Amino acid sequence: MKRKPRQREFGFTNWGGKRRGAGRKPKGERAGVAHGRRERFAARFPVLVTLRLRAGLPSLRYDDSHAVLKEAFAAGSNGAFRVVEYSVQSNHLHLVAESRDGRSLSRGMIGLTVRIARGLNRLWRRRGEVFSDRYHSRILRTPRAVRVALIYVLQNARKHGAWRALAPDVYSSGPEFEGWRRPKGAESRPRWLERARTWLLSIGWRRLGRIGLCEMPAS
């Protein structure tokens, strides 16, 4: 007895909707910054920002590249976004910034990274991308978090063993920082960066004590 043939169903591939592993992959050898929606924050909170260079580029800890960065920090700061403190390491930057809101932070960082990339490419006589991926940010919501972030940024070169002098790192805003616990009579240089406007970054963290010149970031 012959069996009636069964009609096979076509296995359609689902090209729409959300799929695991789909989408643009992060760039660079340190592509570890998630590309999801960033955390929302209010203007009263400062933010800690990290930017990393692509592999194979010259060190940033030279006077000429530092001058490019300083010019970009000053030009990129405005009423909606401003760099308040920073440190320059061989292949990455740490910033403490303030912003009106998340959109202003995003726009400010885009403008800043474009200025830095153009300036460094012009200095190094090259073309191409400068940063390995988009910036990493962390919102600072308490006086303790702000103080810890300031130590981390201003003393980062000590952490990496790139600065040992009993003085602020010259490749940072440390020489102009006004919150050091200094011997009587020692003064900071005049600031060229904008001053903090949030309570947390201007007053709040100081209630926990000024920062010692040899105070190290926590491991």
**Phi and psi at residue 160, to the nearest 5°:** -90, 0
E strand or H helix that includes residue 145: helix 143-154
Q: CA geometry: angle at 58 spanning 53 and 59, to 5°?
A: 80
Q: Which of helix, strand or coil describes residue 181?
A: strand
Is this model's pTM higher than 0.85 or not? no
Q: b/e per residue, 48-71, with b = 16+ CB within 10 A?
A: bbbbbbbeebeebbeeebeebbbe
pLDDT of residue 176: 95
pLDDT of residue 37: 54
Tens digit of pLDDT per residue, the chain (219 long)? 555 555 444 343 444 444 445 544 445 444 444 444 556 668 999 999 999 999 999 999 999 999 999 999 999 999 999 999 999 999 999 999 999 999 999 999 999 999 999 999 999 999 999 999 889 999 999 999 999 999 999 999 999 999 999 999 999 999 999 999 976 545 678 899 999 999 999 999 999 999 999 998 876
Burial class (CB in 10 A: 0-12, 13-18, 19+), 74: middle
| Residues found in the chain | 219
Own/partner contacts of 29-36, CB < 8 Å, gap of 24 or more, are 29/54, 29/55, 29/132, 30/132, 30/133, 31/132, 31/133, 32/133, 33/133, 33/134, 33/135, 33/136, 35/134
Domains within the chain, CATH numbers bracketed: 47-212 (3.30.70.1290)
Burial class (CB in 10 A: 0-12, 13-18, 19+), 94: buried
d(CA 118, CA 84): 22
Tokens describing residue 87: 């440190």
pLDDT of residue 184: 56
